[in-house]
Amino acid sequence: MNSVILSARDVDFLLHEWLDTDALFERPTFAKHSRETVDAVLELAQAVATEKFAPHARSNDLHEPTFDGTTVSLIPEVGVALKAFADAGFLTAGVPEDRGGGGLPTSIISACLAWFHAANTATSGYALLSMAAANLIRTHGSDAQRTLFAEPLADGRFTGTMALSEPGAGSNLSDLLTRAIPQEDGTHRLFGRKMWISGGDHELADNIVHLVLARTPDAAPGTKGISIFIVPKYLVAEDGSLGERNDIVLAGINHKMGSRGTVNTAPVLGDGAHTPGGAPGAVGHLVGEVGQGLPIMFSMMNEARLGVGIAGTAVGYTGYLKSLAYARERLQGRLLGAPPAGPQVALVEHPDVRRMLLAQKSFVEGALALMLYCSRLLDDAVSLDGRAAEEALALVGLLTPIAKSFPAQWCLEANTLAIQVMGGAGYTRDHDVEQHYRDNRLNAIHEGTHGIQGLDLLGRKVLLDRGRALGLLVARITQTAERATAAGGSGEGYAAKLLAMTARLRDVTTTVAGAGGGAEVLAEATAYLEGSGHLVVAWLWLEQWLAAHGKEGDFYDGKRAATAYFFSRELPKVGLWLDTVAAHDGLTTTLDPTVL
């Protein structure tokens, strides 16, 4: 029976028929793995997600975390699921072998994580934050920090958070005020308030490792004066045993419209609620060097941005599958021209319902291709040498803003369409799709809004190294178009449309670069992000079309239909977005705010 959580068949197609994952196992980095081991891991992910995560997804939403002023309480199924996740080895499956992990390719880990997010994105959030925190400490921490904090994170005894935002400093971290005062023993005492911290307190683990951004007394203003500290909920002794409670407590928890099962908190550091060592102040351990907080945090943040893309993709995907199953079963109305007394037909028989289902399919399967492609680039970066590895890193850097934002925007649109397909039923809590919409809505804000991703892409990424990464992307798009042209048939038409729009992107980017990136240009960064994202996904749909070319069956016919939809209905939108960027008419920069 096909799952309505995620399509194992699609995952298999993308990994093996398109991305040729087997080729990775011929490289020394991944030589210990094989198609058989990978398939076993994917099957395990599907099983754990289906049996331990999916059953409490609705309960997670209806019975969100509570805070009594001292303790955060969650439904018990969350802890059971996270233990199953850890016991199955997923916390370290993607960690390199020389760091104590399983050494699986990132593309395989991403496919596994898609199963968990699709099954229950709120519970998955705790595990993903812990994985990212452990990776940051492994990469930038000292040997002692790796032993005392990364290892317990890796085995599930501790969980992790990213404590960045503050009540007065959300996206603009240069304004954060949390202070870190050096101590004689080499630690720091932290004082300040944080806001919107997912997983910031609970009883799911023995300890919580907060990665906190703060300023030392003589820190430079702006982002250059920010450092990063490990602030545990309970102090950890040199032998790994837990000590007294640290001076970090909650002012309260935030109540969100979706992903309610992931507790979201407002922590306070150093108000004297606890006095570790007999003094107020949250004890923190500096990671790396003073003033290197943001560069270090971005190693975790970029991982988190790809994680948000996977989450958005997965939640959109499961909504699509559930609305498709409903549309195939629900009898409603008759086809145009049918006799009034004739039998009703399934929703899927109506052309407009098919349009909405095909749109969802094009968004979610295109987004999954995007996420796995970015993951494969990370695999190439660690398993190839020299120029090939450098090119892979440059491309994934360019694509990260798109990979974060396209799923957050367009898989959310898929969730909207899923509700519409199901009509009144979709709007009720009797079905999952309304929750999926609410759960997915946060991903447009998580780890940087669309506007921030657009500024990153247009203001930095496409102009880095004289546009080298964009040139690499264009070269790959051109190669795909050449293959599609050679394949003939509809591939030739798709190639022509893709090349024309790619040329338009290059022209507009050149214009933007010549304008020097002024306020009027950057005001249209979101339009540039949207246009670039749709162009990239169109390219990846043509890649999927080529992987399906000459193959028969409903699955491959579905890939061809989705490609046709995206090229005829979605790719033309790119031109409109790029026109907006090229015009940079100053509408929003010159607008008097009083008229709003």
The tens digit of pLDDT for each residue in 22-74 reads 999 999 999 999 999 999 999 999 999 999 999 999 999 999 999 999 999 99
Report residue 450's pLDDT band, with 50, 70 and 90 as the boundaries: very high
Backbone angles phi, psi at 27, to 5 degrees: -95, 145
Are 451 and 525 in contact by the 8 Å Cβ rule? The answer is: yes
Instruction: Look over the chain and give the mean of its residue pLDDT values, rounded to a whole number.
Output: 96
What's the confidence (pLDDT) of residue 298? 82
What's the confidence (pLDDT) of residue 543? 98
* 23, 199, 310, 444, 511 from 128: Cα distances, Å: 27, 10, 11, 18, 40
Residue 423's Cβ-count burial label (10 Å; 0-12, 13-18, 19+) is middle
The predicted model gives 465-488 an average pLDDT of: 97
Helix/strand/coil percentages in the chain, nearest 5:
65, 10, 25
Residue percentage of the chain with pLDDT more than 70: 100
Count CA within 13 A, CB hemisphere, residue 147: 8
What's the confidence (pLDDT) of residue 299? 73
Q: Is 101 helix (H, G, I), strand (E, B) or coil?
A: coil
Closest to 138 (Cα-Cα) out of 238, 209, 241, 242? 209
Position 519 pLDDT exceeds 90: no
* Claim: this prediction has a pTM higher than 0.95: yes
The predicted model gives 517-534 an average pLDDT of: 91
What's the confidence (pLDDT) of residue 515? 78
Position 172 pLDDT exceeds 90: no
Beta strand residue intervals within 137-187, DSSP E? 158-163, 179-182
Q: Are strands 158-163 and 207-215 parallel, antiparallel or unpaired?
A: parallel
Position 202 pLDDT exceeds 80: yes
Closest to 83 (Cα-Cα) out of 52, 114, 47? 52
Retrieve residue 132's tokens.
């990212």
Closest to 163 (Cα-Cα) out of 97, 247, 248, 86? 248
What's the confidence (pLDDT) of residue 329? 97
CB atoms within 10 A of CB 488: 9
Retrieve residue 59's tokens.
């309960």
The predicted model gives 392-404 an average pLDDT of: 97
Angle between helices 412-422 and 351-383 (to 10 degrees): 150
Residue percentage of the chain with pLDDT more than 90: 93
Q: Is 180 helix (H, G, I), strand (E, B) or coil?
A: strand
Beta strand residue intervals within 65-134, DSSP E? 66-67, 72-73
Distance CA 12, CA 116 (A): 17
The predicted model gives 447-467 an average pLDDT of: 92
What's the confidence (pLDDT) of residue 584? 87
Retrieve residue 74's tokens.
């969650």
What's the confidence (pLDDT) of residue 304? 86
Distance CA 267, CA 276 (A): 17
Dihedral class, residue 215 (left if φ above 0, else alpha if ψ from -120 to 50, else beta): beta
Least confident window among 204-213, 301-310, 435-444, 477-486: 301-310
Q: Is 33 helix (H, G, I), strand (E, B) or coil?
A: coil
* 307, 410, 520 from 450: Cα distances, Å: 15, 12, 17
pLDDT tens readout for residues 229-267: 999 999 999 999 999 999 999 999 999 999 999 999 999
Dihedral class, residue 581 (left if φ above 0, else alpha if ψ from -120 to 50, else beta): alpha
Are 53 and 79 in contact by the 8 Å Cβ rule? The answer is: no
Report residue 516's pLDDT band, with 50, 70 and 90 as the boundaries: confident
What's the confidence (pLDDT) of residue 413? 98
What's the confidence (pLDDT) of residue 517? 67
Q: Is 533 helix (H, G, I), strand (E, B) or coil?
A: helix
Task: Concatenate the DSSP letters of all residues of 209-251 into one string.
Answer: EEEEEEE-TTPPSGGGGEEEEEEESEEE-TTS-EEEEPSEEEE
